[in-house]
Structures are given as C-alpha cells and as structure tokens.
Structure 1
Amino acid sequence: MSASTGSEPIVLASGQDHPYGIVAEGDFLYWTNYGEAPSFDVGGELPAGHREDRGAVMAMRKDGTSLVTLAPHQHQPNGIAATSTHVFWTSYGLRGGGAVWKVERGGGEPTRLAAGLRTVGAIAVAGRHAVFVSFFDFMDDDVMRVPIEGGEVTTLASRQNPAGIALFGAEVYWTNFVGGQVMRVPVQGGQPQEVTRPEAARRGMTGIAVRDGALYCTNAGDAGGSGGTVLTMRTDGTGSRMLARDQRLPFRIAVDERCVYWTNMGSADKADGAIMSVPIDGGTPAVLASGQRQPIGIAVDDAAIYWVNLAHGSKEGQVMALAKPPHPARV
C-alpha cells in the first residue's frame, strides 16, 4: 500500500527528445537527450558517417530559466555526471560510436575522453577518474575507468551486466541486471567482490545509490514490469531489508538524509509512471507524482526532486520538479 502527498509537480522543460539521465549540481540541472527511442535491436555496426547524431546534452537553472544546449549533435547520450567544473556523459553507441565525453559547465567545445566503445551506459566521477559501464551483453559487459583529463581506459571488472553505478569512498558499486547481484571493486583496481549474499541475488537489479555507508537499490521485477522492489543494505552486504514491494518497473534511485526516491517507469505506451519515496529507515511508500510518462532519471537536492520523463517514441519528453514534502510519511 502507498500513501500520497499533496504537492504538485511542475514542468521545467518540455519538447525534449527522449531525455534519459539527469544530475543536479549547484544551481543547475543537466540532462541527456538520447535523441531517439532507446532500442536493443543492435544489427551490424554503422560507420560514423551513417549514424544519426540527434542527441544533445542540456542545461537549465533549477528555476526553469536559462535553458541551453551544452553539446548538440551527440550520438545516443545516456549516463550523465557533474562536478563543480565539468559535465560528463556517455554516448551509448548501440551500433558503434560509444564514447565518454566532458564539457565545461559554462559551455565550450566538448572533449572526448574515450572512444571506440559500444553500449556505454551509467557514469560517475571519482576524483581524477570517470568510472563508467557497458550494458548490453548479458554478463559479458565491463566496468571501466578513464582519467578525467583523458588517457588510457582501464577495465576494473569484466563479465558483468552493470545497469547502475555508484561511488562511496575509494570503491565503485554496481548492480548486475541479469545476475541480480550488487558488486564492488576499488576505483584504483583490484578483485571485484559480490556484496549481496548469493542466495539474495535476483534478476532485474537496476538503480543504485549510496549514502552514509548504506546502499539503496531498485529491482525492476518480472518481465511484465510488475513485482519491482526497493531494498537497502550496508556496503558490506549485511543488514539487507526491503523498503518497498509491488512497484511498477522501478529504475533509477536517489537518496537524501531523510528519504529514498525512485522512478517507477510504468508502461512504454501509457502515462502510468510514478515518482515514489519512502523514509530512509522504513515506512509506507508515498506516491509523490503519478501519471508520468516513463519517468527514468532522477536527482535530488535540499529543496526538490527532479526527474525526466522519457516519453518513449516521441519528442514530448519533459524535465520535471517537485518541492520536497516537509516531512516524510511514516507508519
């Protein structure tokens, strides 16, 4: 059972072409417009001149003003991260052209940090490195890093299927969608370790966030998009507990000092997605916003929750904001 809140979401930007990832940094929001309906129909690799680079990396003040295109003509921009000086993103490259990029937050010419990749997904920045994943090949994908100034790409873990990625201290954590595990490895390299107990692994692991020594994860549920869950555990895998059950395709997740927030994507052809929350120490999940059209990426700051509605198969994607409820719902 879920409670509901009285706050109403607002549209910060509309007419976006399949917005996918979003990050909040300082007074700005940054997001990727994938530029086409995400697909796993891989086919053969396309030469660079035959790819349609319809995606873009966008920026806007959190009050909905100063909308700008930071990087136009991008090829399937996907994951996104930001520091105090730069925005980083991945180009998925389903049929070739996968890459890692950065640009100054104030704009300028993008710099390509890594090229010649395929199916590049989530990304995070740890000190002097960008850590990113490939996601497609059913336990034959990689977790990688590249210096933020450019240089050699290092593989931290192979034979994975990483859907989400998070950083805590000197380690990178990720979810394996097919294998159903949470994994970790030192950012500087080492032996990958399974965080979840083998008996707890469940296919469908998607988003991951970390705060104060605890991991928060979403599991998309069964193939029909029902039975999704949200769970938490310590970074060593102990103390695992369920925070929400019976969710409708939960995907990305964020956390603050009070609550856990996630996107329920819902159906691919209906506006039945939702933004959800639950107190960080447990309670009744709350519906913060319903009737959303495939909400996918999510970010939070001290004042608000931000997300993007993919709007699959159209150029009607949205960037949304909702003021945080004054107090989390509790049982």
Structure 2
Amino acid sequence: MTLPTPRPSLSVLPLLYAAGLSLLTACPSSPDILEDDDSDLESSTGNTTNPSVTTLPPTGGSDTGIDPDGGTSTTGLDTDDSTGTTGEGFDDPGCPTCMVLADGLTGGRGLALDLDYVYFTDQDQGLVHRVHKGGGDGAVLAMDQQQPYGIVVGGDQVYWANFVVGGGVYTAPVAGGPATLVESDEYPRHLDISGDQLYWGTFEEGHGRVMHRALGQGGSATAIADLLGGVADLVAEGEQVFFTAHTTETGGTFIVPPPKGAPLGSVFTASVGDDPFSYDALVSDVAEPWGIAKQGDTLVWVDGMGVPADQPRTVLSVSIGGGPTQELASNQTAPWGIATDEQYVYWTDHDAVRAVPLGGGDELVLAELQNQARSIAVDDQWVYWITRNRVLQRPKP
C-alpha cells in the first residue's frame, strides 16, 4: 500500500518545534511510564498564552475565544491556510511506514476522524486542531482552551471536553469559526455521538457520570449513569452507552491520577431514560480499565495497572450482553487508547502501538519508540494515533 503524497499546493503541517529543536528528539528510547498523565487535575487551567511551537496560526491573526456565559465568542479563526511546511519528508524512527501528520505538540491527547480530516487536542497548550488525512492543509480550530481532552466530530461541528473543574463541552465549526459552550460540567473527559445525541463521561474525585444531550444549542444535559469513581471512556450506539470506570480497591473515594493502591474497575452499560443509579455491570473487578471500543456485538477495552488477579495490563473483549471475557493480549506496558474494526483490535501501549485479530491470535507491533501514545482511531485503510508530541498515520496491517 502506498502512502498518500501530501498535497503540494498547501503548506501548513506538520506542526514544528520552536526554532533550534530537532524534529526527531521527542521519541526517547526509554521514557518514564505514566499511566494517565493528568497531573495537577484540580488546579490545571490550560495554557492561555501563545504556544511555543508553530501551530497553524490563522492568516488573519485573530484568536478563538469563548464567552464564559456560554454564548458564541466574538472572535474566531480565519479558515484560510496559514504558511508553514507540509508533512512531506518527515518520518518517525519507530515506524518506517508512518506518515507524521503533525509534530511539535506538548500534550497530545484526543483524536477523532471524519471523511477527510484528523481532529486532535493538545491538552498542555490548550489547542484544538485539524489536519488533512495524508498530510496537507490544516488549521487551529480553537486556542486558549483549559485542558482540552476528548474530541468527536458530528456533521459540520467538532466537539471537545475541557477537563478541569468548572470545565465543559464546547463546539466549533469544522471549517473554522467561533467556539461555543455547549454544556458546563466538572471534569468532562471523553465524548461520543450517536444519532442526534452527544454523550460524554466525567472523571472527577469520588464521582463520575455519563451525560447526554441533543446536538446543537437547544435543550440541556441529562445523566444516564451516576456512580462513584471516574468514567474513563465510553462508546454509544443508539440510546445505549457502554463505558469503563474505576475506583479504589477498597471502594472508597476515587483517587485522581496518579492512582494509589490497585484501582478496581468495571465495564458498564446504561441507556437513555433509565434510572441513572441502575446501570448494569457487564464485567466487574478488573484492573483500572481505560479505553473502550465496539465492533458489532463485541466490546473491547484495555486494563491498566492492578494486582494479578484483576487482569492488569491486558486487552480484553466481551459480548455486549455480558458473559465470559476473552483475553486478547497480556503483559502490556501501559495500554490506554483502543479502536477496532471487523478484523483487528488496535491499541496504544505507552511507547508502542499494537494490534491483534478481533477473535484472538498473534499480536502485531505497528509502531515503537512512541512518546506516550494515547488516543487511536481507524478508517477503512489507515490507523491514526496521537502521542504526546505527534499525530501519525500508517496503513492497516
């Protein structure tokens, strides 16, 4: 399979490090392992100054602002392409078949796809971006965000969660324009869209919820699950949501990262209209479950750290109706994000990206030497993921 050639008439990506920094120094061979780098959770406010890297500045030079009262900001990003360099010629030492779509991030976190573009968040710099699949044109869609985390695309809008106390879910046009507050919330984290509904989970100390509301600006949010412990990730289909959550082994107050003890968790399901306190556990007492994805009638997820009896550092699957779990991969380093298609399960494992057949089989290494690989997504032909400093694309196995 041939990598697509970046569009030569456009000149905006990848993101570049500040002057004097090497493009290939951000992939250390033995980085410190961080299970989920959400440090300073209570006090984080995001970067409200200009980023230290060249990050697709708007041609017109105006910033995207957000009205604290929830209205549309009065400024927005110019959607014309900015000057810079394309992805042509950049490579990744741990993935010879990869194309580097964006470089120079400092806190890459969320990732989402539509037909033509890859959307992503830089949590540390407070930025929301998009870049063309295969390299080429891109734009900063929002600046000065407070810890932007999960991201999802629906129609002509992109939605993201600002993962702080007093945070919220925001939206902006995918083609560029002002950012708007959709719903205020405490520590919203990952999001999904099903039909005309937007879903998200919250991940705060001692409390987590799964919320939903209609897309757009009308209506208000309603909880469909309310629990002790944080909602780590979710996937929605119709009016049913499947989600991972975890608390401490003793069942006490949830400890925000870095976790203490051996965090126990579960895979839950809940539906719109149900009592938010009557959600069902499909799988219980597993080690610190993080990312979750769905293919047909099968759920897949990754477990983080824990005691041996709780299947730590594994990739597992279960039927959406519950029942026995299947271990797809074990002895991982620190698995976090996950995606799936009809053939494979794909996940990030701190400094690597891996895959395994959906029904079980030999594990494949898709990339190595990654700097805290995080969210991951797939389309018909390609695998995309984000690390702390890069967005990458490679062919499916």
Taking structure 2 as the reference length, what is the TM-score of the superposition?
A: 0.68
Secondary structure of the equivalent of 2:131?
strand
Distance, in Å, in 1 between the alignment partners of 2:286 and 2:117 is 36
Question: What does residue 10 of structure 1 align with?
Answer: 99
Conserved? CA contact 2:337–2:374, under 8 Å: yes
User: How many Å separate the matches in 1 of 2:171 and 2:323?
Assistant: 36
Describe the SS at the equivalent of 1:74.
coil
Please state how far the C-alpha of 1:57 moved relative to its aligned partner: 0.8
Query: Which residue type is aligned with residue 303 of structure 1?
Result: Q
Aligned partner of 1:71 in structure 2 is: 142
Q: Between Structure 1 and Structure 2, whose CA radius of gyration is higher?
A: 2
Change (3 A) 1:227 1:246: farther
| Percent of aligned pairs with the same amino acid | 29
Picking from 88, 111, 136, the partner of 2:159 is 88
Query: Which residue in the other structure is 1:44 paired with?
Result: none
User: More displaced, 201-210 or 160-169?
Assistant: 160-169
How far did residue 8 of structure 1 move?
Answer: 2.4
5+ unaligned residues in a row in structure 2: which ranges?
1-93, 248-263
Separation in structure 2 between the aligned mates of residue 97 and residue 76 of structure 1, nearest angstrom: 11
Which residue number in structure 2 is paired with residue 209 of structure 1? 293
Distance in structure 1 (CA, Å) of the matches to 2:344 and 2:100:
23
Displacement of 1:227 in angstroms is 4.4
Q: 1:297 aligns with which of 367, 375, 397?
A: 375
My pick for the range that moved more, 20-29 or 143-152, is 143-152
TM-score normalised according to structure 1 size: 0.81
- The more displaced of 255-264 and 101-110 is 101-110
CA RMSD of aligned residues (A): 1.9
| Aligned residue pairs, count | 282
Which range moves more in the overlay, 69-78 or 5-14?
5-14
Say which of 212, 229, 240 aligns to 2:325.
240
Cα deviation, residue 287, structure 1? 0.9
Q: Aligned equivalents of 1:66 and 1:188: distance in 2?
A: 42
1:184 aligned onto 2:269: yes
Structure 1 pair 206/87, CA: closer, same or farther in 2 (3 Å)? same
Cα shift at 1:119:
1.3
Give the Cα–Cα distance (whole angstroms) in 2 for the partners of residues 130 and 169 of structure 1.
11
Higher strand share: 1
Find out whether 1:167 has 2:236 as its counterpart.
yes
> How far is 1:197 from its partner?
4.4
Shift of 1:289: 0.3
Q: Distance in 2 between matches of 1:187 and 1:22?
A: 25
Structure 1 gaps of 5+ residues are: 37-53, 266-272, 311-316, 326-331
Equivalent AA in structure 1 for residue 305 of structure 2: G
> Mapping of 1:189-268 within 5 angstroms?
189-190=274-275, 192-198=278-284, 201-222=285-306, 227-265=312-350
Report SS of the residue matched to 1:21: strand
Moved beyond 6 Å, runs of 4+: none
In the alignment, which of 195, 199, 208 is matched to residue 131 of structure 1? 199
What secondary structure does 2:374 align onto? Answer: strand
Q: How far apart, in 2, do the equivalents of 1:156 and 1:234 lie?
A: 21
SS in 1 for 2:104: strand
**Residue aligning to 1:286:** 364
